[in-house]
Amino acid sequence: MDPFNCRGLIIRSSEYKDKDRLLSVLSADRGLITICAKGVAKPGSSFGCFSMPYMLCDFVVSVSHGYYYLKDASIIESNSKIMDSLEQMTVAAHISSCLMDCTLQTENAREAYELAVYAYYNLANNRDKYLLIYSAFNWRLLTVAGFTVQYDLSEPAYRASADKPNRYLIDISGSGSEHNKNFNRLLEEPSVKALNYFSTCDLKRLFTSSADKKTEKELKDFTTDYLSMHFEKNYDSLAVLGNL
């Protein structure tokens, strides 16, 4: 088979044998693919710079016996500033983990790819907004996967109580607030409005919003619980930041 060209994000780079790397690359057209980058760990390797995670690259890939091998590449966006802080690196690793969990063999690969491109770029260039980027990514990915709903705050079912008019009971199962109370979470109005915005806004504007610290934390906690339930995995990567 002739080599093919593809643009993709390196979302994970793993050691393979002594000098090779396996690159998990998310592309719009092919979804999640694994490319073997042979010899990139050798001193002086011309491909050494193409084995770092979070980079957006144009790849030339050869195919042999059903396996993909890196033939050539060029960097479109390095996103190297992600490595500037533990917070950015932690959120980037979380994003990668989510993408590995949900985009393999999915019909929504293009949407997930576009979301990831904006997420990594904004994370690299907005160090102080890492927590909001985390929550916005979580909610938009859940939307891509078909797990979110729009919350109509005029509906009485969402009201926590008459004496708390700006607080809402939201069900993390995605079905509303009238189900098992163990799934209910109490959210302030700004958080619910943010969730509605995250799920519907133009992708270019998804990571440009702002919020106060209380809302940031509330969104972080809620989207983490929601993500963990629907992807059936405990996403607790940010816990390490709270232990520092």
- Over residues 100-153, the pLDDT tens digits come to 988 655 578 899 999 999 999 999 999 999 999 999 999 999 999 989 989 988
For the entire predicted model, the pTM comes to 0.91
CATH number for position 153: 1.20.1440
Report the pLDDT value the prediction gives residue 20, as an integer from 0 to 100: 86
> Does residue 139 share a domain with residue 230?
yes
- Over residues 52-104, the pLDDT tens digits come to 899 999 999 999 988 999 999 999 999 999 999 999 999 999 999 999 988 65
> Does residue 89 share a domain with residue 70?
no
> Does residue 231 share a domain with residue 169?
yes
Q: Which of 57, 77, 97 is the last residue of a domain?
A: 77
Encode 53-83: b = buried (16+ Cβ within 10 Å), e = exposed.
Answer: bbbbbebebbeeeeebebbebeeeeebeebe
> Does residue 102 share a domain with residue 18?
no
> Does residue 89 share a domain with residue 12?
no
Range of the structural domain that residue 32 is part of: 4-77
> Does residue 126 share a domain with residue 9?
no
d(CA 122, CA 204): 10
Q: Which of 40, 58, 77 is the last residue of a domain?
A: 77
> Does residue 209 share a domain with residue 111?
yes
Count of domains for the chain = 2
